Amino acid sequence: MSVRVLAIRSDQPDPAAIAEAARVLRHGGLVVFPTETVYGLGADATNPAAIERLNRAKGRPPEKPYSMHVGSREQAQALVGALPPLAARLMDAFWPGPLTIIVPGPQGTGVGLRLPDHPVALAFLRACGVPVAAPSANRSGSPPPTEAGEAIAALGEDVGCVLDAGPTPVGRESTVVDVCADRVDIRREGAISAATIRAAIQQTVR
């Protein structure tokens, strides 16, 4: 599969490019897209063949779950149902932004949710119309890419489409927090510090 690279402006995303990338994803392909932190590698989370393709591209074991990138808070709630109060408070404080929040899912397992603060990412996620599994666009164990060219070099023809909006503005992965146990546990400190999260919710963060 040849890689289709679509140059796109962050301040004014081209609807035709967004629609083409969303079409690739809905047909089972993998799409590299920018967020404010790093470039993500998106797959249709409802398509088992697409998730298998994502696992192969990442070199990642199938039992390791992926976070879901969403285009709105309403979409996040539709995926998991009622949100824990702590999750709602964190969303109020940091969404859209570089925070992934793990909440209880409908099957009792944790589901990571992120609403990115990037116009291209938001337009793409809203156009897809399906939940999008989206880890960073690199092989597991390698540094996450902050430019589209790095993702292409790492993943090659495993990717069906690339939305290239230039360097990502933050350049560091999102912070990951888990609220499944009615407290905030930091799973990965990234673009938002634990101190900033603690100050926002006025609660001890583990």
The alpha-carbon radius of gyration of the chain (Å, integer) is 16
Q: How many CA atoms lie within 13 A of 86 on its CB side?
A: 19
> In the sheet that 185-188 helps form, which strands lie side by side, from edge to edge?
4-7, 161-164, 31-34, 39-44, 132-133, 68-69, 110-114, 99-104, 175-178, 185-188
Per the CB < 8 A criterion, the answer to whether 26 and 157 are in contact is no
Q: Do residues 118 and 164 touch, judged by C-beta distance below 8 A?
A: no
**205 pLDDT tier (thresholds 50, 70, 90):** low
- In tens, the pLDDT along 166-198 reads 999 999 999 999 999 889 999 999 999 999 998
The whole-number pLDDT of residue 82 equals 87
- The mean per-residue pLDDT over the stretch 26-45 comes to 98
pTM of the prediction?
A: 0.94
Query: How high does pLDDT run on average in the chain?
Result: 94
d(Cα 116, Cα 105) in Å, to the nearest integer? 20
Q: Write out the CATH class of domain 1-71+116-170.
A: alpha beta
Query: Which residues face 40 on adjacent strands?
Result: 33, 136
Pairing between β-strand 175-178 and β-strand 185-188 as defined by DSSP bridges: antiparallel
- Retrieve residue 152's tokens: 């292409």
Query: Is residue 206 over pLDDT 70?
Result: no
What are the residues facing 178 on neighbouring strands? Answer: 102, 185
Q: Where are the domains of the chain?
A: 1-71+116-170, 81-110+174-206
Average pLDDT over residues 148-162: 95
pLDDT at 128 over 80: yes
